[in-house]
Structure 1
Amino acid sequence: MNLKGKKLLVTGADGFIGSHLTEELIEKGYDVRAFIYYNSFNSWGWLEHAPKEIKKDIEIFSGDIRDSYGVKEAMKGCDVVFHLAALISIPYSYHSPNSYIDTNITGTLNILQAAEALSVKKVIHTSTSEVYGTAQYVPISEEHPLQGQSPYAASKIGADQLALSFYNTFSTPVSIIRPFNTYGPRQSARAVIPTIITQIAEGKRKIQLGSLKPTRDFNYIRDTVRGFIEVAKSDATIGEVINIGSDFEVSIEETVKTIAEVMEVEVEIETDTKRIRPEKSEVNRLWADISKARRLFDWKPIYGGRNGFKQGLQETVSWFRHPQHLKMYKGDRYNL
Structure 2
Amino acid sequence: MKIQGKKIFLTGGAGFIGSHLARKFVNLGAEVVVYDNLSTGVKEYLKDLPNISFIKGDILDTKLLESSMKGCEIVSHHAAELEVFTGIGNTIHEMRVNIEGTLNVLNAAIKNDIQKVVYASSGGVYGQAEYTPEKETHPLMPQWPYGVAKLAGEKYCQQYTQLYGLPTVSFRYGIVYGPHEWYGRVLTMFIKRVFSGKAPVIFGDGSQRRDFVYVSDVVDANILGIENDSVSGMRFNIGGIAHVNVVDIANMVTKLIDPSLKPIFDDPKPGEASKHQPERKRLPAELKDFILDISLAREKLGYDPKISFEEGVTKEIKWYKSDPSIWDYDPRV
With over 3 angstroms needed to count, the CA separation of the structure-2 counterparts of 1:38 and 1:328, relative to structure 1, is: closer
State the 1:297 CA deviation. 2.1
Aligned equivalents of 1:27, 1:51: Cα separation in 2: 14
State the 1:57 CA deviation. 2.6
SS of equivalent residue, structure 2 residue 233: coil
Aligned equivalents of 2:300, 2:154: Cα separation in 1: 20
Please say if 1:268 is aligned against 2:272: no
State the 1:255 CA deviation. 0.9
User: 2:202 touches 2:246 (CA, 8 Å); kept in 1?
Assistant: no
More helix by share: 1
- Structure 2 equivalent of residue 242 of structure 1: 236
SS of equivalent residue, structure 1 residue 134: coil
CA RMSD of aligned residues (A): 1.9
Structure 2 letter corresponding to 1:188: W
State the 1:235 CA deviation. 0.8
Aligned equivalents of 2:13, 2:232: Cα separation in 1: 22
Q: Match for 1:298 among 278, 302, 306?
A: 302
- Which residues of 2 match residues 201-220 of structure 1 at below 5 A? 201-205=195-199, 207-211=200-204, 212-220=206-214
Aligned equivalents of 1:91, 1:29: Cα separation in 2: 38
- Which residues of 2 match residues 11-50 of structure 1 at below 5 A? 11-37=11-37, 45-50=41-46
Aligned equivalents of 2:141, 2:120: Cα separation in 1: 17
- Structure 2 equivalent of residue 284 of structure 1: 288
Structure 1 letter corresponding to 2:17: I
Please say if 1:151 is aligned against 2:145: yes
TM value normalised by structure 2: 0.91
Aligned equivalents of 2:46, 2:262: Cα separation in 1: 33
Structure 1 letter corresponding to 2:31: D
Please say if 1:321 is aligned against 2:321: yes
SS of equivalent residue, structure 2 residue 156: helix
With over 3 angstroms needed to count, the CA separation of the structure-2 counterparts of 1:76 and 1:334, relative to structure 1, is: closer
Aligned equivalents of 2:10, 2:179: Cα separation in 1: 19
For residues 261-319 of structure 1, the C-alpha deviation after alignment (integer angstroms, 9 at most, x for no partner) is 122422232436422122xx22221111111111112111011xxxx111111111111
Q: Match for 2:185 among 174, 191, 194?
A: 191
- Which residues of 2 match residues 64-79 of structure 1 at below 5 A? 64-79=58-73
TM value normalised by structure 1: 0.90
User: 1:130 touches 1:283 (CA, 8 Å); kept in 2?
Assistant: no
SS of equivalent residue, structure 1 residue 256: helix
State the 1:139 CA deviation. 1.2
For residues 120-175 of structure 1, the C-alpha deviation after alignment (integer angstroms, 9 at most, x for no partner) is 10000110011111211111111111112011111111111111111122221111
Structure 1 letter corresponding to 2:295: S
- Structure 1 equivalent of residue 6 of structure 2: 6
Please say if 1:161 is aligned against 2:155: yes
With over 3 angstroms needed to count, the CA separation of the structure-2 counterparts of 1:268 and 1:38, relative to structure 1, is: closer
State the 1:50 CA deviation. 3.8
Structure 1 letter corresponding to 2:74: V
User: 1:173 touches 1:238 (CA, 8 Å); kept in 2?
Assistant: yes
SS of equivalent residue, structure 1 residue 26: helix
Aligned equivalents of 1:111, 1:334: Cα separation in 2: 23
User: 2:241 touches 2:309 (CA, 8 Å); kept in 1?
Assistant: no
With over 3 angstroms needed to count, the CA separation of the structure-2 counterparts of 1:287 and 1:171, relative to structure 1, is: same
Q: Match for 2:245 among 244, 251, 254?
A: 251
State the 1:334 CA deviation. 9.9
User: 1:215 touches 1:285 (CA, 8 Å); kept in 2?
Assistant: yes
State the 1:51 CA deviation. 5.3
Structure 1 letter corresponding to 2:43: L
Q: Match for 1:92 among 67, 86, 97?
A: 86
Structure 2 letter corresponding to 1:16: F
Paired positions, count: 320
Aligned equivalents of 2:232, 2:190: Cα separation in 1: 38
Structure 2 letter corresponding to 1:318: K
User: 1:139 touches 1:288 (CA, 8 Å); kept in 2?
Assistant: yes
State the 1:79 CA deviation. 0.4
SS of equivalent residue, structure 2 residue 198: coil
- Structure 1 equivalent of residue 278 of structure 2: none
For residues 249-269 of structure 1, the C-alpha deviation after alignment (integer angstroms, 9 at most, x for no partner) is 211122111111122422232
Aligned equivalents of 2:114, 2:185: Cα separation in 1: 33
With over 3 angstroms needed to count, the CA separation of the structure-2 counterparts of 1:106 and 1:335, relative to structure 1, is: closer
Question: Gapped runs of 5+ residues in structure 1?
Answer: none
State the 1:248 CA deviation. 3.9
- Structure 1 equivalent of residue 276 of structure 2: none
SS of equivalent residue, structure 1 residue 135: coil
With over 3 angstroms needed to count, the CA separation of the structure-2 counterparts of 1:215 and 1:121, relative to structure 1, is: same
